[in-house]
Amino acid sequence: MHIVKSVGVMSVAKIMGLIYGCMGLIFVPIFLIAGVVGSVAGDKPAMIGGVIGVVLAVLMPVFYGGMGFVAGAIGALLYNLIAGWVGGFELKLEAVSSAQSGIPVVPASAPPTSSS
């Protein structure tokens, strides 16, 4: 068994920020469609709905990414704190040969030897 005793706060925050930013991209088409429908649905005062929809579509991935970054950092800090008290995740790791995984394994090269 291997135990994860701590995680890098910034590495978790960066990855979570990128994941949440990508999830925010899922909502871009919804806000763009709502913005277009809002701008053509009514008279001149209704055009503000279209502008707001487009602005939200642009800001959604940035907002989600920022919130994911903050949530990832807080989550990593809490994990490190709690894992210090009660231990970390227990992982059972198993070595897989290259024939089973389908991924070629490049053997480590031997250090250079000096021959005089």
Q: Is residue 106 part of a domain?
A: no
Task: Give CA separation, 93 vs 3, 7, 45, 75, 83, in Å.
Answer: 10, 18, 61, 24, 19
100 in a structural domain: no
Residues with Cβ within 8 Å of residue 51, at least 6 apart in sequence? 35, 39
**Position 114 in a domain:** no
Domain contains 109: no
Q: What's the whole-model pTM score?
A: 0.68
Residue range of the domain that includes 35 = 2-92
Residue 104 domain-assigned (yes or no): no
The reply to whether 105 falls in a domain is no
Asked if residue 51 is part of any domain, the answer here is yes
55-72 confidence digits (pLDDT tens): 888 888 999 999 999 999
Contact 23, 72 (CB under 8 A): no
The answer to whether position 59 is within a domain reads yes
* Partner residues linked to 89 by β-bridges: 4
Contact by Cβ (8 Å): 1, 91 = yes
Averaged pLDDT, 80-87: 91
| pLDDT of amino acid 80 | 93
Give the pLDDT of residue 13: 95
Number of domains observed in the structure of the chain: 1
